């Protein structure tokens, strides 16, 4: 039922992790770069900080939840079909300038 | 960064797995039963079959992707805070009458 990457990011900047519009663009770009098609994107800016963005894809979903005050984010890149979700993970790791990360792969 | 259950379901009925409204209600009920708050729910009915439902929660997300023609579904129940996402998983397993399932737990 597809390829699922669970990516935990550490040491990211507060500003980036609290920027809802930036994270929307990042996730949509990562989805497209993985070969996926974005059907719909939803997001929520929490108070006093923190953002969730979720893209519903034709090929499953991609999501990010952030804890800016701790420099942490949890990302899922889950696709079925011929996509290459690892490419999306690499883009997110790079563009959030994570000082550290863990990446788990699950074949569903 | 929370508790993440990855649930794969097998042997479910075509009709249930292709019923968008039913799956929306199921996921929202499972989220609430887990102690989570639903912020927004989005869904997509694919042609000729298959449904995706994703609930953005105050505590992360819950999602289902279905392949009715194969009797399969992939569910994620990911919550932070004091929720009990295993309760949501049990409800989904029961209400989709899965003949078989696998459940993986990841501490994020």
pLDDT digits (tens, 9 = 90+) for B36-73: 999 999 999 999 999 999 999 999 999 999 999 999 99
Please give the average per-residue pLDDT across A53-79, as a whole number.
98
Classified as helix, coil or strand, B108 is: coil
pLDDT, chain A, mean: 97
Classified as helix, coil or strand, B29 is: helix
Closest-CA distance, A95 to chain B, in angstroms, reads 20
Q: How confident is the model at residue B89 (pLDDT cuts 50, 70, 90)?
A: very high
Beta strands in chain A (DSSP E): 3-10, 38-45, 51-57, 60-67, 72-79, 100-107
Task: Find out whether B43 and B23 touch, Cβ atoms under 8 Å.
Answer: yes
Q: Is B80 a catalytic residue?
A: yes
pLDDT number for residue A3 = 96
pTM: 0.96
Residues of A in contact with B78 (CB under 8 A): 65, 74, 76
pLDDT number for residue B6 = 98
Interchain CB contact of A106 with B (< 8 Å): yes
Tell me whether the omega of the peptide bond preceding residue B102 falls within 30 degrees of 0, making it cis. Answer: no
Q: How confident is the model at residue A8 (pLDDT cuts 50, 70, 90)?
A: very high
């Amino acid at each position: 039922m597809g390829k699922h990457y669970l990516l935990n990011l550490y040491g990211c900047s507060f500003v980036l992790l609290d920027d809802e519009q930036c994270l929307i663009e990042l996730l949509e770009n990562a989805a497209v770069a993985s070969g996926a098609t974005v059907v719909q994107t939803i997001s929520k800016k929490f108070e006093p900080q923190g953002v969730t963005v979720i893209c519903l894809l034709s090929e499953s979903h991609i999501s990010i939840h952030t804890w800016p005050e701790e420099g942490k984010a949890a990302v899922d890149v889950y696709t079925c079909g011929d996509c290459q979700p690892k490419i999306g993970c690499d883009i997110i790791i790079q563009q959030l300038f994570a000082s550290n990360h863990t990446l788990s792969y699950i074949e569903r």
